[in-house]
Amino acid sequence: MNDAVQQSMTSTSTWTRGLYMVLFALIYSLAEAVVVFLCLFQFIFSLAKGEINNRLLSFSAEICEFMLQILQFETFNTEYKPFPFNPWPEINQTEVSDNSKTTTEKTANEVEDIEAEDAIEGEVLSSTDPKEE
């Protein structure tokens, strides 16, 4: 057996990470169930009240960020261990409120600002397809 493989197989840090990965896989499964419940509850709430629950919206944004952190850890994109080993992700309430608006609810200026931010510097924006010219 290759020395690098043998060292990796006997390394306690590798096995410790493996245990964390199993733990976070279980936590992720629980978080998925919570997200399904949140979706259903938010849908029922919006049917009953005609609006969305902002507190629930904020919590769902946080749990989505938490799940992203787990996936980042699970796929070796980061060594950052999510909650409970680090703080719970907090999402700014104004960001959540702004993201929850549909394009039709945004003012013309907000839409123009978003389009301007999305444009790449030096790129010409036109509504025609270059293939048609």
pLDDT in tens, 46-85: 999 999 999 999 999 999 999 999 999 999 999 989 988 8
Q: Which value, to the nearest 10 degrees, does the dihedral of the CA atoms of residues 98, 104, 105, 110 take?
A: 60
Nearest to 70 by CA among 100, 40, 105, 34: 34
Confidence at 6, pLDDT banded by 50, 70, 90: confident
Mean pLDDT of 7-25: 88
Q: Is 73 exposed, middle or buried (0-12, 13-18, 19+ CB in 10 A)?
A: buried
38, 62 Cβ separation under 8 angstroms: no
